[in-house]
Amino acid sequence: MFLEDTLTQAERDMVDAGEQQRLRERRVSVQYSKVREFCLPVERLTGRKVRSFLSATDTEVDGLSMETFVLHPVGYDGPSRIDAEA
């Protein structure tokens, strides 16, 4: 999933101040602290368990973000990414 224009005003201010690396680190920290909140809806909607969750933001292009969910095959009955330590 690609999302555009995802930066808050505070994040835009960070970009303007040349703090892109700090912003990316902050975003990654938040994203991976919320793995459950990101993965549960995907699992509920698809009926499949998430194998991997990847999140990235290009701070140079006004917050073009990508949230990627790699799903286990249909019928998989093992643990979900939610069960793994973040």
Q: Which structural domain, as residue segments, surrounds residue 58?
A: 2-83
Residue 3's pLDDT is 87
pLDDT tens digits for 2-34?
A: 889 889 999 999 999 999 999 999 988 988 899
The answer on pLDDT for 86 being more than 70 is no
Helices 9-16 + 20-33 axis angle, to 10 = 150
Q: How many domains does the chain have?
A: 1
Question: Which has the higher per-residue pLDDT, 1 or 24?
Answer: 24
d(CA 9, CA 20): 14
What is the distance between the alpha carbons of residues 59 and 5, in angstroms, rounded to a whole number? 10
Q: Residue 85: its pLDDT value, please?
A: 65
pTM of the model: 0.80
